[in-house]
Amino acid sequence: MDEEVNPIKDYLFEYIENSKTIPKLIIEKKFDEIIQEITANCHDKIISMGEKDESVGILATGLLHYLLTNALITSQRKVEYDRTELDIVVPDVKTLKKDPKKTLLICIPKSSDAAIINEKISKLEKIQSEKENIWVVLSKDIPVGKKSFILSKENNTFSKIIFEIAKFSNVSGSNKFKILRI
């Protein structure tokens, strides 16, 4: 499947590629610092490249995919399951079918409209029977009744998401490598 060309993702990965600090932070497994650096240096430019919520969603998806890969946490991105597009599945759809307790769905709605977000969550709840295993990434703090992470310059809770995912993976036993010891 060909990846669509996207100026936001291109900008993000160009920033990562040209960074002097990110390779060192990857080696040191300081994923929260990587997110903070990228948010501090790229957030405003990325927001100016399109509609805010959509831009933040694209940034969150690209960054999360990059960091999950570097953290050696098994995941699938943008997969179709039961006629619903899943943004990120940890570890994979096969595990979701077999054992929902060991599967995490991360929803990145690309909207700050509570009705749209709740509709997306309700679709995910039909697929994932373990309701607490549905997490949401938002551009601002909106009460959604799920564990949520905010990707913004201020109140940025998104920087802790990789450690939370690693903790989930280690506890549920789906991360065979247990690279990030929490």
Residue-wise pLDDT for 82-102, tens only, equals 999 999 999 999 999 999 999
Residues 132-151 as b or e (16 or more Cβ within 10 Å = b): ebbbbbbbeebebebbbbbb
With a CB cutoff of 8 Å and minimum separation 6, the contacts of 20 are none
Model pLDDT, residue 181? 46
The arithmetic mean of pLDDT across residues 35-47, rounded, is 95
Task: Tell me if the pTM is above 0.85.
Answer: yes
Percentage of residues in the chain having pLDDT higher than 90: 87
Q: Are the C-beta atoms of 59 and 153 separated by less than 8 Å?
A: no
Q: Are the C-beta atoms of 175 and 91 separated by less than 8 Å?
A: yes
Provide φ and ψ at 144, rounded to 5°: -125, 0
Model pLDDT, residue 3? 54
Strand partners for 84: 81
The CATH architecture of the domain made up of 7-172 is 3-Layer(aba) Sandwich (3.40)
Residue that wins the pLDDT comparison between 41 and 169: 41
pLDDT over threshold 60, residue 72: yes
Percentage of residues in the chain having pLDDT higher than 70: 92
pLDDT-derived band of residue 4, with 50, 70 and 90 as boundaries?
A: low
Q: Is the peptide bond before 7 cis (omega within 30 degrees of 0)?
A: no
Model pLDDT, residue 173? 55
pLDDT-derived band of residue 170, with 50, 70 and 90 as boundaries?
A: confident
Least confident of 11-15, 159-163, 173-177: 173-177
